[in-house]
Structure 1
Amino acid sequence: MSSPPASRLTLLNQVTCPHCWHVFAPEESLWVSEHPDLIGDAKLGDMFAVRFLPSRFSPEGDAFDSEGYRTTRLACPHCHLEVPRPLYQLPAIFYSILGAPACGKSYFLASMTWQLRQMLPRFFKVTLNDADAQANSRLHGYEEQQFLNADPDQLVSIAKTETQGDLYDQVKMGEHSVTLPRPFLFTLQPTSQHPNHDRAREASRVICLYDNAGESFLPGADTVTSPVTRHLAHSACLFFCFDPTQDPRFRRACEGKSSDPQMKPRNSRLQREASVRQDTILLEAISRVRRHAGLREDELHQRPMVIVVTKWDSWKNLLPDVSDAEPYFDIENNHVRTLDSDRIRATSSAVEGLLQELCPEIVSSAQGFARDLVFVPVSSTGVAPEVDEETGTLGIRPRNIRPYWVEVPLLYALATWTRGLIGAQHRVASADASSVTLKKTESRNGTKR
């Protein structure tokens, strides 16, 4: 008999559950029953298929449940939630998106993933595919609403992320019911045209993105029964979304320079109802990372943080010399684009200077926490929202959406702190303006990337 396909699969030695972050060996996995009568899991409840540790397998390596049905789905032995197969074969990278309520996290996430789906295969020769289409269904809805809408002239808006719902799962742990986050899952793999295609097994990754409701980052919201933001301590990079339209100092600075209705002055009652202090959200997130990662108060986190300054279209006139053109360039005789790290760092310095002037507490809090810090301005829509005359709510017409720089935070994180997929280089103009020399990006400790 020829060797079955399962025997040729290369599995990781350890798998990290994207729901509860339990680390386990592949052979410890539970399997999900397929027989229709095997319903009622001890941890997930009466509506879920039974999880079990198998004793019988098919020649292809799939398990049989107790009624003899062949099963293909796997689950975490700790929380019993389903773990997609790519996580058994490719290393996972965890990324956390955090910020205050209504700061634009969901808009940013939807525009970022849509832009990456379009440009990664075309310009960087890397595919971004769903690792679990069911887990990504909420994100699919966001993308379709903004970029594939059948009525492009209709005002649309993304529903606010709630603290309960289809982005969370309820699991019974002992005597208590625990709420766990449901991440968005993607695979990143080099195509046949990528320079590292022959090293695809080493370079490929599963990306786990977490988008919590802003209320989840309020002080006291992280509990034993609702540890929905503990992914922060596992994240390879933290993306903190700062919304200038929620800051009265930014709004004052933009008077006469922005037509965005979100930049209009607000009375004190509306200001209290509409937002919370964003530095409080950032400090609470920092506190949770320190607590769950075992960091001292005076110890810098060794993983990077990106301050994503949202709604750039509404405040870009405060930095008229900063261009919103794409920060990429082509290299002669190379069909893969490269990030212009000098341009991104220069833009970061300009944005950091503006934040230092208008809201220095955000900058000082981030600098006191992260060893590597970068500030990236983004616009998830490229245009200001309009007021719906019937409802009084804000919306965007899909026809007008033109995101810019939304993909840059994740691309820069991959290029700077993860090897093998995205390149970032310095572009230094020589004495001859038509000549450009390139050198490899180096990290702060001098290691070549």
Structure 2
Amino acid sequence: MFGLLKKMFGTTQPEAPRPQFYDIVCPYCFSKFHHEDVVFRAAHYRDDDEAFNLQEDDKLNDYRKKFGLAEIDEIEAIVYPSTIPDDNKIYTNGVLMGVSDKYAVVTRKRLCPGCHNELPVTAGKYPSNILSIVGATSVGKSVYITSLIHTLQHVTANNFNAACIPLNNAISRRFRDDYEIPLFENGNLLDATATTKRQEPFIFQFVFKDENKAPLTLVFFDVAGEGMTEQEYLQLHAPHIKNSAGILFLVDPMQIRAIRQKMLHQMGENPGEIVGLAREPREVVVALFEDFISQQENNKTNIPTAVVLTKSDLLYTLSSDEGEYIRSNSNVFHNVTHSGYLNLDEYENINGEIRRFLSKVDTPFVGSIDVFFNEASYFAVSALGSNPVDRQVSGIISPIRVDEPFIWLLYKLGYIEGRHVQ
């Protein structure tokens, strides 16, 4: 009877009592701190007070230099809550949100104490859930991030009664001008992110119209793939992985040696855009293990991890009615829309199918995932719906299942429910 009720009404992740406040993870430098440890940007300046003069901010400029951004010459001073009487501190629902300085001027510009970037207004009130995207070189992270955010904004958010909003106008312009317009309007394939290009993260908020649901902060860090196996570079970006609430681990089927030549043969003389053979997926797992998984209890991470097989349209070259690798009528080639909840039947089908496929063609990789990740599921996506030729996408871009791994992470984090519908 219980099984029937569960099938009819679905499942949700168990809910824990909600704390009054949460530790904050900075979406810029990914340092973690208590909400009382924030600092503030003064809302004014004074020429007759050295402490409130316009001045250089070394921490902010050090952060900007890491990403090749221009330094800021002069900016309003930092106000430290430790110098403010308790009566002049402003709290909302137990979270420090503002201070009134010695001139009785109120500021609510909360900054990270580590990098002095401004924090989202929700920081401390709700969990700082960060989603990380990792994978080897040329796995298609930039294209996938672009397709995913585009889909979240235009399709997924509406299906879950939410909105996907960039954190600020600068992020909105950078995403639109450098990623979305070149790909979705001009059909130009995005260049791979170079290891020398230290990009600031894309920060979006997935905000539910139901005010009782906490907004989810999405930090998409377009980490250059080559760096994921270079220890020094990984250490530069690893904090955002360590403090993630969920991981999207991208795997390119063309990087799997066991099937690469067979796929190339089936593609013929004009295969389209094919990347060179680079690091194998399991080598990225080893790099992650060395840097942070080995520091976790029992040498495993509890972070929910979606293992995402990208460029799934290429798998059609391996398909057959017999299904030696994958069947011609596979779920992989059909888009699925999850609306209001995670369709557990669709999820379980794709998870089982891709796990079996990867177990067949890259047993060591699946073995390493089993060893190091307590909570992993498998997905297949096509960010474009077809393989580009001469770095151009022909026809209309039609992503396939591109948001499904994200929706699964929403489910694992308790934002949405899952239901069996068959």
Q: Do they superpose with TM above 0.5?
A: yes
Aligned residues: 366
> Hey, what does 2:308 align to over in structure 1?
308
Root-mean-square deviation (CA), in Å?
A: 3.2
Does the C-alpha gap of structure 1 residues 86 and 365 become closer, same or farther in structure 2, counting only changes over 3 Å?
A: same
1:116 Cα deviation after fit: 1.1
Distance 1:216 1:201, change over 3 A: farther
Unaligned runs of 5+ in 2: 1-18, 46-52, 62-70, 92-96, 319-325
Residue 296 of structure 1 pairs with residue 298 of structure 2: yes
Aligned partners of 1:205 and 1:21: how far apart in 2?
15
**Counterpart residue number, 2:72:** 47
Moved more, 33-42 or 245-254: 33-42
Pick the structure with more strand per residue: 1
* Residue 397 of structure 2 corresponds to residue 401 of structure 1: yes
Residue segments in structure 1 that go unaligned for 5+ positions in a row: 1-9, 168-181, 192-196, 330-335, 388-393, 429-449
Separation in 1, partners of 2:352, 2:384: 23
| Paired residue type of 2:79 | L
Which runs of structure 2 are paired with 1:47-446 in the superposition (5 Å)?
47=72, 49-53=75-79, 55=84, 71-135=107-171, 137-140=173-176, 141-147=178-184, 149=185, 152=186, 155-165=187-197, 167=199, 182-191=200-209, 197=210, 200-222=211-233, 227-255=236-264, 257-258=266-267, 261=271, 271=276, 275-291=278-294, 293-297=295-299, 300-318=300-318, 319=326, 320-323=328-331, 324-328=333-337, 337-387=340-390, 394-397=391-394, 399-415=395-411, 417-420=412-415, 422-428=416-422
* Structure with bigger RCO (C-alpha 8 Å, 6+ apart): 2
CA 339–26 in structure 1, closer or farther in 2 if over 3 Å, else same = closer
Please report the TM-score for the alignment, with normalisation by the length of structure 2.
0.76
TM-score (normalizing by structure 1) = 0.72
2:23 aligns with: 14
* Percent of residue pairs identical: 20
Q: Aligned partners of 2:273 and 2:393: how far apart in 1? A: 16
1:383-432: per-residue Cα shift (whole Å, max 9, x none)? 11112xxxxxx2324x43111111111001112x1223x3321233xxxx
- Change in 2 beyond 3 A, CA 1:126/1:101: same
SS in structure 2 of the partner of residue 86 of structure 1: coil
Contact 1:52–1:65 under 8 Å retained in 2: no
In 1, the alpha carbon distance for the partners of 2:197 and 2:215 equals 31
> In the alignment, which residue of structure 2 is the partner of 1:3?
none
Question: Where in structure 1 do 4 or more consecutive aligned residues deviate above 6 Å?
Answer: 56-61, 64-70
